[in-house]
Amino acid sequence: MMELDLASDPHRRLNPLTGEWIQVSPHRSKRPWQGRTEEKPEQQKVEYDPDCYLCPGNERAGDARNPDYESTFVFTNDFSALKPDTPSEISNTENLLVARGEKGICRVICFSPRHDLTLPEMEPARIREVVELWTTEYEELGKREYINYVQIFENKGAIMGCSNPHPHGQIWAQETIPDEPAKELMRQSDYYEEHGTTLLGDYLKLEREREERLIVENDYFAVLVPYWAFWPFETLVISRRPFAGFTGMTEEEKDGLADIIKQITVRYDNIFEVSFPYSAGFHPAPTDGRKHPEWHFHLHFYPPLLRSATVKKFRVGYEMLGNPQRDITPEASARLLKEMPGKHYSLSEG
């Protein structure tokens, strides 16, 4: 009987955080590409845009005006997907037509007053200010009686549906724990009950021993391509010490988080020498008033690019109807990311 070769044989990998399976087909990465390509996005180099609704001093919707902020800036989204005054009522017709009201708050966080700087181009001290604001918002929103989860995320790049290049992220705080963290809550709880340790703590220990998918680390955080990754250059940032949420971080760990975000996002930009698009989001513990010893703080990066700055992966066909699937192995992606220089490519030009 032949031995399974994960580098060349089709196989499935389990995502222990969600219980879902990923189909890996490494032999397909050798096929010629005839899919869609796009024009390489233009680099935005304007420090201030008078027409940008996120730049300091500019007008927003409803006659609101931004202050002349010099660091970070946060405000309630002018077009919020969630509202705090929504009735908490349930509509149910024969258990087939079911809906319920969902209260919540949506916030926008501007990372910098500079219109032209993304996280990998910002100084670590400036990223540290963003970390502090994330922490404050997580704590203050999470204290509200009806808020049970605070989802902090960033969509970077037009390819990810981001309509404004000004560096910013979002927060959706709501009554219900969303599906993805709810799956992670169940799996982490089961693991903690059985082992007495956190799932991601034990997983990180294994990855640090094997070093196959580990990209970079500091004293407080590590970045790796998860064994079960779906997106070609997907990464997972895991805290070295188990803690549940932003408010569990020490000041040194906040410094470490700013540093590790800088390190991985610079490597992303350096792969194709372009402002690398992604959706990224933290999964901290729920803010439901319960203790969560099972929860291990982490951050997901989901970038869509596949073979170049103009070729992206689509989730279609089998991936929508059957299982998520990838061709390039996580190990190959990790090697490429690890080889990237820690200095941003734009600083080496000329």
Q: Which amino acid is at 60?
A: R
The DSSP output letter for 138 is: H
Q: Please tell me the distance from the alpha carbon of residue 282 to that of residue 96, in angstroms, as a whole number.
A: 33
Per the CB < 8 A criterion, the answer to whether 172 and 104 are in contact is yes
- Helix axis angle, 179-195 relative to 199-210, nearest 10°? 80
Q: Which residues contact 164 (CB under 8 A, 6 or more apart)?
A: 52, 53, 54
Q: Is 168 a catalytic residue?
A: yes
Q: Please tell me the distance from the alpha carbon of residue 205 to that of residue 201, in angstroms, as a whole number.
A: 6
Q: Please tell me the distance from the alpha carbon of residue 231 to that of residue 125, in angstroms, as a whole number.
A: 30
SS3 154: strand
Q: Which residues contact 58 (CB under 8 A, 6 or more apart)?
A: 50, 51, 52, 65, 66
Q: Please tell me the distance from the alpha carbon of residue 48 to that of residue 260, in angstroms, as a whole number.
A: 27
Which one is catalytic: 115, 166, 168, 300? 168
Q: Which amino acid is at 210?
A: R
Q: Please tell me the distance from the alpha carbon of residue 296 to that of residue 88, in angstroms, as a whole number.
A: 31
Rama region for 78: left / alpha / beta (φ>0; ψ in -120 to 50; rest): alpha
Q: Which residues are catalytic?
A: 168
